[in-house]
Amino acid sequence: MRLILFGPPGAGKGTQAKLLETELGVPQLSTGDIFRSAIKNQTPLGVKVKAIMDSGKLVGDDVVVALVAETIAKSQFANGYILDGFPRTVAQAEAFDALLAQRGEKVDAFIALEVPDEELISRLTNRGQGREDDTPDKIKVRLGVYKQETAPVLAYYKAKNQAKIIDGLGSVEDIQQRILDAVNN
């Protein structure tokens, strides 16, 4: 099972990915975790990413896709994974699809969690992670960036008839059940 969980910041992708790991029997794969692991293990791509991040620049699509490719080649991902935070751009989605095609694989499900902005702002300001960018003004900026740069990925998968949109409101358990229903249909 190769599942992409998609949605804006605060939609619950990370929470759902962790719960679905057990339910679906495949590991969660967060791009943030991939970056941290590659940097910690000083892989060639990790060294490159660290240098980019240390300079204050954004990691380019080609490097992000290469890191994901390096990670999914590991044996623990042989039976699939739940992607959380990737792809973030249409270029990443296209490159990822090309990578999977080379491997004779495809995305099994693209699940988009849909949550109103007001709820996202509430969740992010109340999540208690102490992030500096979890203030209402900064959250609005992050949501704007998401809508401009990341939301087009949904249109990309919709055009391929792979996107399933799930209501991201309700209890964690209700949302998980909606995702499972969408994956199994």
DSSP string, 36-85: HHHHHTT-HHHHHHHHHHHTTPPPPHHHHHHHHHHHHTSGGGTT-EEEES
Tell me: the pLDDT tens digits for 114-133?
999 999 988 888 875 556 66
**What is the separation of C-alpha 27 from the centre of its chain, rounded to a whole number of angstroms?**
13
What residue ranges define each of the domains in the chain, with the CATH number in brackets?
2-29+80-183 (3.40.50.300)
pTM, entire model: 0.86
Question: Which tokens sit at 116?
Answer: 């109103």
The residues annotated as belonging to the active site are: 13, 88, 127, 131, 142
* Section 136-150 average pLDDT: 85
pLDDT, one tens digit per residue, over 3-20 is 999 999 889 999 999 999
User: Confidence band (pLDDT; 50, 70, 90) for 63?
Assistant: confident
Q: How confident is the model at residue 178 (pLDDT cuts 50, 70, 90)?
A: very high
